[in-house]
Amino acid sequence: MTTVSSEEYVFPVVAAVDDIDELGHVSNVVYVRWVQDAAKAHSEAVGWDRAAYLRAGAVFVVRRHEIDYLASVFEGDRIEVRTHVTKFGAATCERKTRLVRAGDGVEVVRAVTSWAFVATATQRPTRIPQEIRDAFPAALGRGA
């Protein structure tokens, strides 16, 4: 089940056989994908899907991922990807994400992602409209 609240969005995943690396646990690259997938799902859940962004003439792209890998995840583990927008700049936003193993509540990954809002026509940063800011109330007056 996915959850939308003023605190954070929860995106569930299950570690599949294709997610496992040569060491027998989930590959670090997969965690990055889960962070991005959760951000996309959160955006869609609050009404900003791909079509809405294209109508607005701009999309979010990753500027930077900062990830701390805290514990291993194995095939079949259920993970809650918990994410929320923490702040907005003129053409940027910051999103924090935690991956928590559902079985025991252990935090396995902590990430901070910086996103740039980029105009599709020019591929240059552009101001984030108020309608988008309003769609992510967790960022308003909340800090980190």
pLDDT digits (tens, 9 = 90+) for 98-136: 999 999 999 999 999 999 999 999 999 999 999 999 998
Mean pLDDT for the stretch of residues 13-27: 98
- Render pLDDT for 30-61 as a digit per residue (tens, 0 to 9): 999 999 999 999 999 999 999 999 999 999 99
* 9-139 under CATH 3.10.129.10, yes or no: yes
Mean pLDDT for all residues in the chain: 91
Angle 9-108-30 from CA coordinates, rounded to 5°: 80
How large a percentage of the chain has pLDDT more than 90? 86
Question: What does pTM read for this prediction?
Answer: 0.89
pLDDT at 3 over 50: no
Give the pLDDT score at 24. 97
pLDDT at 138 over 80: no
Q: Name the maximum alpha-carbon separation found in the chain.
A: 46
| Domain boundaries of the chain, sorted by first residue | 9-139
- What gap in Å lies between CA 84 and CA 121, rounded to an integer? 28
Which residues, other chains included, contact 71 with Cβ-Cβ below 8 Å and sequence gap of 6+?
A: 101, 106, 107, 108
